[in-house]
Amino acid sequence: MKQIVSTGLLNSKIEDKGESAAANFIVSDIQGKSISTKDLRGKVVFINFWASWCPPCRAEFPSIQKMYEKYKDNQNVEFLTINLDDDINAGKKFLEKNNYTIPFLVSNGNIPQEIYNGSLPTTVVLDKNGKIRLKHTGMADYSKDSFYQQLEELIKE
């Protein structure tokens, strides 16, 4: 799967998806602190739903980690990497085993259907107004320069 991801065939494209506004939802970090997407207005928000048992999730994780390392200090970008394992310890162990440093978040209630419809992995990018600009179901490579350029354009908007 990692080889398929690296071909670029599954690259995602950020685009203007019309008037679609993201519904608000809340996630929690491992300390129990709640994070609301509504409170993240003014930032580009990269959202990824994943589980440790999901092979496509595991295949795209190196690219997400690479992107996180590139943008983690950028005040205009927020990462919501939401673990959907039934046992959250499995997700934590997966991150630790692979030395991934992305934020470990869990759902804190209902996630709107327009954001997540049950398929893993799912990635959504919100612009600074909370508008959905990308929704990609399935694995992709988010470490490509072409994706970074699109992200940079969103940051400048």
Q: Residue 89: helix, strand or coil by DSSP?
A: helix
- Secondary structure (3-state) at 130: coil
SS3 content of the chain, % helix, strand, coil (to 5): 30, 25, 45
Q: What is the DSSP letter of 24?
A: P
| Higher-confidence position of 5 and 105 | 105
Q: Residue 3's pLDDT is what?
A: 47
Nearest CA to 8 out of 146, 123, 153 is that of 146
Q: Which residue has the higher pLDDT, 43 or 16?
A: 43
Distance between CA atoms of residues 77 and 46, nearest Å: 7
Identify the structural domains of the chain with CATH numbers, from first to last: 2-156 (3.40.30.10)
At residue 153 the predicted structure's pLDDT band, cuts being 50, 70 and 90, is: very high
pLDDT by residue (tens digit) across 4-13? 444 344 455 5
Contacting residues for 2 by C-beta, under 8 A, at least 6 apart: 59, 62
Neighbouring CB atoms inside 10 A of 137's CB total 17
pLDDT value at 96 more than 50: yes
Alpha-carbon span 94 to 119, nearest angstrom: 19
Say which range, 5-9, 37-41, 42-46, 94-98, has the weakest mean pLDDT: 5-9
81: enclosing H helix or E strand: strand 77-83
Q: Starting at the edge strand that comes first in sequence, how are the strands of the sheet with 26-29 ordered? A: 34-36, 26-29, 105-107, 77-83, 44-50, 122-126, 132-137
Q: What is the pTM of this model?
A: 0.87
| 49: enclosing H helix or E strand | strand 44-50
